[in-house]
Structure 1
Amino acid sequence: MERPMKRKLSLISLSVLATCALNAQVFAAEVPAGVELAAVQELVKGNGAEVATLDPHKTEGVPEANVLRDLFEGLVTSGPNGETLPAAAESWETTDNKVYTFHMRQGAKWSNGDPVTAHDFEYAFKRAVNPETASPYAWYFEKATIKNAKAIINGTTATEQLAVTAKDDNTLVIELDKPLPYFVSMLYHTSTNPVHKASVEKFGDKWTRPGNMVSNGAYKLDTWTVNERIVLSRNEQYWDNASTVINKVSYLPLQSQNAEMNRFLADEIHMTYEMPIEHFKRLKKEYPESVKVTGYVGTYYYQFNTKQKPFDDVRVRTALSYTINREAIANFVLGQGQTPAYSFTPEIVDGFEPAPQEWAGLSQKERVAKAKALLAEAGYNKDNPLKFDLLYNTSENHKKIAIAVSSMWKKGLGVEAKLENQEWKTYLDSKKQGNFSVARAGWIADYNEASSMLSLLESDNGNNDGKYNSPAYDKLMADSRITTDPAKRANDYQQAEAILSKDMPVAPIYQYVTARLVKPYLGGYPNNPLDNLYSKDMYLIKH
């Protein structure tokens, strides 16, 4: 499969978008002339796992984000090609990339008919950083450099001091500590979604249940049957409801890729979450019109718990990383177009050119030889083999990769890795609590810029589950947020990648593609590099 080409506009476009008032419409379902729609517009999607929550400020996973994009709408949205478009905000402007003023969309309403105002966003942003909310994405607001976010998260400043202010119902002002030219592009992440204050205060933790939830997106929550399905129906109060075609959306938590494939082939679902690796070539041959493979800004990696011995030893981490044959994983275990990863940031990220790392240029035989020497230096050998558990969340594809990598470790180093799989919610909790030695992980960029990947490994990032801590790395990332010079920022990113290559807190394995089955009569399926899909943009064609 040909590697996706890089898009060259992002950083330039973001700067231009940030300093202009925008009045363009968001992308919606655009049915070509002459296309006859199906009589029943009910979309069924596979969603990989049971969602942990539908509270935008308490989620951290892709399955949750998939549903939330239909239920809620932030200030901006992600277009079909990953571009930043107006949403709840009709326009915005800034003169210095430090103070941003957003003008709310007139006529936007919550599903109960209440108007969507700037006050809703002020409430939501402050709720997200409030330590009492315990948001796993609170760090995101700090990395966005919103003034006072860090102090609030650390508990040293009152939540009310967050520099997000509704000047009136129609005007929201956000002040940053430092200029950040790509700030607006960070705002289509689900953690920046608004929530309906009256509902949250009335129902507490139960506000996300059917009958209690009030949302502002194209859809509203109808039913939620745990481990079976989540069903959404059209939000007739949505400001652009007239452009929506799909009337009902069902999300199925299908963890088995084979079961999901079979239900797709039986016409029970229209779009899968993933595809079973072992069936990819057959499916591509037999159902070429249904196999969709697109570039995806994300990296699949193994994460080391750097606070647990012996993974506090860089020699152990490096030895295990070197021994992984990335070409074999990408080309033979997967074989869907994935790219072997020698940097944490994918090459598809706009404006990013990874600097070549010395170890990446070695042959696999040379890497294994270096790995053996490093592990021996750390005190592990045939008489004293390294033993540990390898954690992954329940998935046939994750299991296949874990089996392959553990076999490489056993053959190359004599390492004994015991495979341990956990359900999605338990897996997230285990990682968050540090109850793991080595864990499968994957990180999908929240916006198409290198900092969305690299900020994950800063010492104060709430999702840095391996507890990696490098002052030099932290400084480079802090510097990258200060500079307005794209060349200087790119150099900071390259130096940060070099530190990761030396310290090896994670072992990047491959760069993602999105490979799934999509019915050929599902129109409006986009080529979005962040896989930000919106049901409101789609439609079912008569077949």
Structure 2
Amino acid sequence: MTRIVALLLSLCSMATGASPAMAQARALERGNGPEPSTLDAHVCQEVACGNVLRDLYEGLVTEDARGRLVPGMAERWSVSADGRTWTFHLREGLRWSNGEPLDAVQVVASFRRAFAPQTAAPFAEQFDAVLHAPEVRAGKLQPTRLGIDAPDARTVRVRTSRQVALPALLTLPIAFPVYLPAVERHGNQHTRPGRLVGNGAYRLAAWTPQAHLVVERNPHFHAAASVRIPRVRFHVTEDAAAELQRFIAGDLHLTETVPPQPLAKLRARHGARLRLSPYLGAFWLGLNTTQPPLKDAPQLREALSLAVDRDKLTRYITGFGETPAYGVVPPGIPGYAPASLHWSGWTQARREARAKALYRAAGYSDANPLTIELRYNTSTPHRRMALAVAAMWRDTLGVRVRLRNEEWKVFVQNRRQRAITQVFRGGWIGDVADARNFLVGFADDGALNWMGYDDPRYTAAMRRADLARSEAARNAWLRAAETRLLNAHVAIPLYFYTSKHLVDDGVRGFEPNPLDRHPSRWMSFAER
């Protein structure tokens, strides 16, 4: 197959006068991690689909290469004096990727579809500040009651029940306008090539499952003239080691991650092509509190957390500047002081002694060891992490661990259903620089509460944060909620992320940013 592709490129270059290298440079080859679970913008909940959707769609507000908020569909916006009514003025002449006009009425209709209960949008709870959004999501009110309307064809108005940093939220895929005629005509299949209609810098050209997706420049995009790269191929790269080899071989211009290796060795080999930067993300293991053996077993859950040596994990297993985590909200969020487990300052020896005492108090011993399953999605870094944690539990407590790896879509489904999971790979990548974004998923029995955490006092603290009249009071209540969540030991924090990519020398416009978002529209190839 490789020889055939090379031959075709050679023939193409003979016909056009271009070299094979120039022909290949026409497309940006991006590693993208696992197969996207969906390209329905309202249902997407992971990085893999978000990366593609940010090429195919644009919200009212978008981000530049450095993650700064800039106008998207809306050329400008304003907020009322009380901070509860936002008005967005659309650009003139907006069009869908099929050439049809795009106006405010369609944007509003898309929002209504996003919050309708039958859509089951996992990020809908992030918008609970929008007037009537919780009631619409719960099916108590019709979507037409949602606090989003269109006073005219070029104006979208959003009313909220409290003050909220709405523009940042509008960069999430759930806020992208979905072309409803395609949804009505094709249902779940509206995301397929030839059917998906977006409004972003690119449009979907091809999708080969478990291989790659191809997007091509959208001529109807309002800033199409500034989009320098005409085609982008998003490759499925679940195996980070294989992705690295493809980058070295020249098959990829950009990797989604870098496999665990000694950092000095990687720097020596790749130099400036290795891009490391701070990242608002937390990696933790979730514990299913709705099923035995972890249900009604806080002592056992804490013992498992205490037995993990986070310093060793970040020094020897990850090794890219990650920091040990003793909370679920990462540092770096303006105005917020993250909570941490009360024993975060202990030595590891003291933690392990306490872990053994709690393990015995929970009824387990060498004669009666705990047998438990640790589930993770297929990935070299995740496998290494799972092996290391399993070894720590075995050596410190005598726990017998069964490792289960699953393809991403299967893993996500099992994690959400909470039927067969016990311990599982979890974590959260920030959608916005806000502590609430890392905490709200545990406040109700929604699609993001994979552990089945149910605590009215936690929910009450989150509600008090939402109603706070000052940023200081809001952050205090959020910190109280995080502390309560940590004391329940329903998650085992492991580390806070850094973003890590390899970027080809010929790629321009790849800029570090705290949310690690890199839409292709801002990139270009260096002139040769």
Provide TM-score, normalisation by structure 1. 0.90
Contact in 1 for aligned 2:275/2:502 (Cα 8 Å): yes
How far residue 177 of structure 1 moved from its aligned partner, in angstroms, is: 1.9
Aligned AA (1:537): W
Give distance in 2, aligned partners of 1:329 and 1:508. Answer: 12
1:87-124, Cα deviation, whole Å (9 max, x unpaired): 01111111222111111122221111122211222111
For 1:366-405, what aligned pairs fall within 5 Å after superposition?
Answer: 366-405=350-389
SS state of the match for residue 288, structure 1? Answer: helix
Could you say which residue in structure 1 is the equivalent of 2:237? 254
Cα distance, 1:233 vs structure 2: 0.3
Aligned partners of 2:334 and 2:323: how far apart in 1?
16
Preserved CA contact (<8 Å) 2:28 2:229: yes
2: distance between equivalents of 1:445 and 1:152?
25
Whether 1:119 and 2:111 are equivalent positions in the alignment is no
Alignment match, 1:462: 447
Tell me which of 83, 87, 94 is aligned to 1:108: 94
Structure 2 residue identity aligned to 1:335: G
Query: For 1:360, what is the secondary structure of its paired residue?
Result: coil
- Aligned-pair identity (%): 35
| Separation in structure 2 between the aligned mates of residue 117 and residue 163 of structure 1, nearest angstrom | 18
| Counterpart position of 2:284 | 301
**Which residue of structure 2 lines up, in the alignment, with residue 320 of structure 1?**
304
The answer for the alignment partner of 1:278 in structure 2 is 261
Q: Which residue does the alignment assign to 2:75?
A: 90
236, 244, 252: which one pairs with 2:227?
A: 244
Alignment equivalent of 2:166, drawn from 157, 172, 183: 183
Q: Which runs of 5+ in 2 are unaligned?
A: 1-20
Large movers: runs of 4+ above 3 Å: 37-41
Amino acid at match of 1:193: F
RCO higher in 1 or 2 (8 Å CA, sep ≥ 6)? 1
Q: Secondary structure at the match of 1:359?
A: coil
Q: What is the one-letter code of the residue matched to 1:269?
A: L
Residue by residue over 1:151-199, the C-alpha shift from the partner in whole angstroms, topping out at 9 and shown as x without a partner, is 122222212211111112111111112222x122111011111011222
Aligned positions of 1:59-208 closer than 5 A: 59-95=44-80, 96-142=82-128, 145-180=129-164, 182-208=165-191
Contact 1:455–1:461 under 8 Å retained in 2: no
Deviation, structure 1 residue 310: 2.4
Q: Partner letter of residue 76 of structure 1?
A: V
Q: Is the CA contact (8 Å cut-off) linking 2:122 and 2:446 kept in structure 1?
A: no
Partner residue, 1:441: 426
Listed one character per residue, the Cα deviations across residues 385-416 of structure 1 (whole Å, up to 9, x for unaligned) are 11111000000110000000010001111111
1:41 touches 1:539 (CA, 8 Å); kept in 2? no
Match of 2:514 among 514, 529, 532: 529
Tell which deviates more after alignment, 153-162 or 528-537.
153-162
Asked if 1 retains the 8 angstrom alpha-carbon contact of 2:64 and 2:522, the reply is: no
Instruction: Specify the SS of the correspondent of 1:173.
Output: strand
Residue 361, structure 1, aligned to residue 345, structure 2: yes
* Secondary structure, counterpart of 1:401 in structure 2: helix
Alignment size in residue pairs: 504
Please report how far the alpha carbon of residue 459 of structure 1 lies from its aligned counterpart in structure 2 after TM superposition. Answer: 2.3
Secondary structure of the 1:520 match is coil
Structure 1 stretch displaced more, 395-404 or 307-316: 307-316
What are the ranges of 5 or more consecutive residues in structure 1 without an aligned counterpart?
1-36
1:479 has 2:464 as partner: yes
Once residues 274 and 356 of structure 1 are traced to their aligned partners in structure 2, the CA distance between those partners, rounded to angstroms, is 27
CA contact (8 A) 1:103 1:172 kept: yes
CA contact (8 A) 1:297 1:529 kept: yes
1:38–1:541 Cα contact (<8 Å) kept: no
Q: Secondary structure at the match of 1:474?
A: helix
Cα offset, 1:462, TM superposition: 2.3
Contact 1:271 1:517 in 2 (8 A): yes
Q: Is the 1:343–1:508 contact (alpha carbons within 8 Å) kept by the matching residues of 2? A: yes
The match for 2:410 among 416, 421, 426 is: 426
Call closer, same or farther: CA 1:473–1:541 in 2, change over 3 Å: same
| Residues 271, 516 of structure 1: 8 Å contact kept | yes
> Which residue does 2:502 correspond to in 1?
517
- The match for 2:336 is 352
Structure 1 CA distance, aligned partners of 2:245 and 2:163? 50
Q: Which residue of 2 aligns with 1:11?
A: none
Find the aligned partners of 2:22 and 2:525 in 1 and give their Cα distance: 6
Q: What secondary structure does 1:469 align onto?
A: coil
